[in-house]
Amino acid sequence: MTGAIIPITSGVGRGRTKLAAFDAALFDAVIANYNLLHLISIIPDGFTPVVRKLDQNAVEYGFRLYVVLATATAMEGWGKRPGRTSGGC
């Protein structure tokens, strides 16, 4: 399969909880309206990774989206602002 593309997207979110920050990051990455199915994978031969935001498509609301997901979280200000979390996907 020559010329196949694997889109790579990312998002950053902030919230009062880890879940709220993660949810905001999914919206920033334009993948919040999908049912995410987590995979553990590598990029197969013949595929090219392309960094870009996905096109938001209301018709695909609730569709399955297979993802390899990486997350990072940190407390903002290292305790200066209790209860505020940053997250990304």
Kindly report, residue by residue over 8-29, the tens digit of the pLDDT.
Answer: 899 999 888 889 999 999 999 9
Chain centroid to Cα 21, Å, comes to: 11
Q: For residue 52, what pLDDT band results from cuts at 50, 70 and 90?
A: confident
**Token pair 């200066």 in the structure block, residue:** 80
Amino acid of residue 51? V
Domains of the chain, residue spans: 4-88
Neighbours of 89 (CB within 10 A): 23
CATH code for residues 4-88: 3.50.20.10
Report pTM. Answer: 0.71
Kindly report, residue by residue over 60-73, the tens digit of the pLDDT.
Answer: 788 898 888 888 87
Q: Is the pLDDT of residue 38 over 80?
A: yes
